[in-house]
């Protein structure tokens, strides 16, 4: 069997509303190492969420949080990881669930515009690894909009 990673909408985390695609891994053994490539748009000098990582067992209970490692550092910004809670609805047989999650956040250097790239390695409870290669397109804020 392979690990099942699906995209969901995030309902809420740490009291604040967040929307976006996430990786939610159900605890199924036997996954091969894989690479996921994604593109994200950002504004210069502002935080943008580039990944949310959580784990849920087949019985809808929280699994152990995955390990998140920075494999390739962004050249024109920083990446931070924060811990929060993920609320998901209608995921497989789990109609409503809340699990702990890690949130990866990218911020470019002030006044940077262009392309940046980073790679995260996400390792599940069974030790299976998945690389997240994230291409960030950074634009300057619109004229008249301050940082």
Q: Helix, strand, coil proportions of the chain in percent (round to 5)?
A: 0, 60, 40
CA-based torsion, 40, 70, 104, 85: positive or negative: positive
The closest of 37, 59, 6, 25 to 127, measured between CA atoms, is 25
pLDDT in tens, 110-143: 999 999 999 999 999 889 999 999 999 999 987 7
3-state secondary structure of 96: strand
What pLDDT sits at residue 26?
Answer: 43
Cα 32 to Cα 18, 20, 39, distances in angstroms: 30, 26, 23
4-139 folds as Immunoglobulin-like (2.60.40)
What pTM was estimated for this model as a whole? 0.74
> In sequence order, what are the residues at sequence separation of 6 or more whose Cβ sits closer than 8 angstroms to the Cβ of residue 145?
none
Domain boundaries, the chain: 4-139
Q: How confident is the model at residue 82 (pLDDT cuts 50, 70, 90)?
A: very high
What pLDDT sits at residue 116?
Answer: 98
Helix (H) or strand (E) holding 71: strand 67-72
Q: Where is average pLDDT lowest: 1-15, 16-30, 44-58?
A: 1-15
What pLDDT sits at residue 10?
Answer: 35
Token pair for residue 136?
């960030």
Task: Please state, in angstroms and rounded to a whole number, the distance separating the CA atoms of residues 109 and 112.
Answer: 6
């Amino acid at each position: 069997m392979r690990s099942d990673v699906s995209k969901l909408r995030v309902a809420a985390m740490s009291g604040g509303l967040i929307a976006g695609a996430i990786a939610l891994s159900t605890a199924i053994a036997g996954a091969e190492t894989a690479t996921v490539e994604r593109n994200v748009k950002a504004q210069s000098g502002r935080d943008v969420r580039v990944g949310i990582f959580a784990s849920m067992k087949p019985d809808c209970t929280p699994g152990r949080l995955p390990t998140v490692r920075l494999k390739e550092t962004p050249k024109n910004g920083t990446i931070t990881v924060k811990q929060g809670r993920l609320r998901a609805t209608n995921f497989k047989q789990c109609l409503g669930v809340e699990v702990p999650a890690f949130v990866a956040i990218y911020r470019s250097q002030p006044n940077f515009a262009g392309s940046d790239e980073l790679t995260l390695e996400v390792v599940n409870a069974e030790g299976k690894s998945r690389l997240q290669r994230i291409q960030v397109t950074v634009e300057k804020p619109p004229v008249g909009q301050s940082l």
